Amino acid sequence: MRLRKFLNFRLAFGLVLGLSILFHGNSFAQDTDAVVSDTAVAVSSTATDVDSAAVTEEAAAPATQVESTATPASSAPAAVAAADESGIPTQVYINFFYYTLLFLLVCFIVGIIGKIMDIYGITRQLQGYDRSEEIWGKSQGWFFLVGLFVFLYGIYWSYANHGAQSFREAATEHGAAIDLMFIITVIITTIVLVITHILLFGFAFQYRGSEKRKAYFYPHNNTLEKIWTIVPAIVLTILVLFGFFTWRTITNVPIDIQKSAIQIEVTGEQFAWTVRYGGRDNQIGKHNYKLTTPTNGLGIDFNDKSALDDIRAGDIVIPVGKQVRFTINSKDVLHSFYIPEFRVQMNAVPGMPTFFQIVARYTTEEMRAKLDNPNYNFILLCSKICGSGHYNMQKTVRVVSEEEYKEWLSQQSYFFDEDMKREFQSAQAKVVEEDQMAVIIN
């Protein structure tokens, strides 16, 4: 009797606690926010009232009295600021404890249900009905059935809520091929996922425990093993080959198309991107790390005539519908050139240039109209964690019409500017002087 009372108390307490958290957790959080905001408003109004009172009674009241009256009002915002000094909003702590309690409550309820069923089985056994294992087996079968529907709904919910983020239309021509590859892969894997779990959970429910039915031991079947080995192998081989040929068409660009594309070099360093355009001759000049100076950060070799008209750019601007070839470098550590909407992700490796060629399908303005977001921009990111400032390696990428691109390009400055010219002339003079000294010595 005491055990039953104790269990009933635990069950009632758990249910009350759970309902309280479920129905009052969010409202409590909202009320907390409301209290904080009301406090801030009250503090603000108090400070205003004090200030007005001080102005009205300035002639009659001493200055010390006004200062002493205003001090409590000014100390309240300071206290609020001190409370937020950690930078973590109070709501984060509230949510953490709320969901922790909710998780513990679920575990508590599941434990109680298990104990109740154990006691029920023992009670039936004492009454002469030894069917506890059968009852527990049937209960497990129903749990599997409920879990199957929850699982299938979870798949539907994930696709319905996150599908738009995963399958947003690509802004480049090759991106459409990559999206098709991923969509086919997701469809095949989803079909396999659903079918296997329906069979798994369905058999668990169909053949739940019963004294009238015994399991048949079926140790081996060559036909079944051949089917579930050969079929997945064929499907995976097709998917791998599909991905290989898709990637090959993207990266193996014919030489003539490579040369005619707009040449852009992007160099990553901690923690920024430096952009260099090929200039009038559409050829990017050579560079050598030994030539790197505070003025010549990329180590450009201006003895190479192709480097004299190389253009320095703040943002990446490209024309829509035109071939653009990126040469990707790194000055220090491993970075990664990543533009999500372009379906471009290529490592920036120190000492080893990598390449990627694209054709943009939409201008930035057209993409803004598609997404109904007037502030939308394509962004170049670094997708390799490269240090403490990794998050800040961002650069805006603008896709414009060909006329806008030519106009923008004409307004950019050259790497070989006045400072670079003076440094280059000084270096050349030093080389000539060293050569003359070598001749004299010899």
Tell me, what's the pLDDT at 339? 92
Residues 6+ apart with CB under 8 A from 58: 66
Sign of CA dihedral 184, 189, 192, 198: negative
User: Is residue 138 classed exposed, middle or buried when 0-12, 13-18 and 19+ CB atoms within 10 A define those classes?
Assistant: middle
Cis peptide before 342 (omega within 30 of 0): no
Mean pLDDT, 10 residues at a time, the chain of 442 residues: 46 50 44 41 41 39 37 40 56 84 88 80 68 64 87 89 77 88 88 91 80 74 88 90 87 87 92 90 86 85 86 91 92 92 91 91 91 90 90 92 90 85 81 69 71
Tell me, what's the pLDDT at 210? 67
Tell me, what's the pLDDT at 136? 65
Give CA–CA dist 302/317, Å, rounded: 24
What is the rounded end-to-end Cα distance, in angstroms, of the chain? 112
Give CA–CA dist 337/268, Å, rounded: 8
Tell me, what's the pLDDT at 73? 39
Tell me, what's the pLDDT at 380? 93
Q: Which residues of 231-250 are buried (b: 16+ CB within 10 A; e: fewer)?
A: eeeeeeeeeeeeeeebeeeb
| Ranges in the chain annotated CATH 2.60.40.420 | 255-428
Tell me, what's the pLDDT at 123? 76
Which option is the CATH number for 255-428: 1.10.10.10, 1.10.3720.10, 3.90.1170.50, 2.60.40.420? 2.60.40.420
Q: To which H or E segment does residue 272 belong? A: strand 272-277
Q: To which H or E segment does residue 121 belong? A: helix 90-126
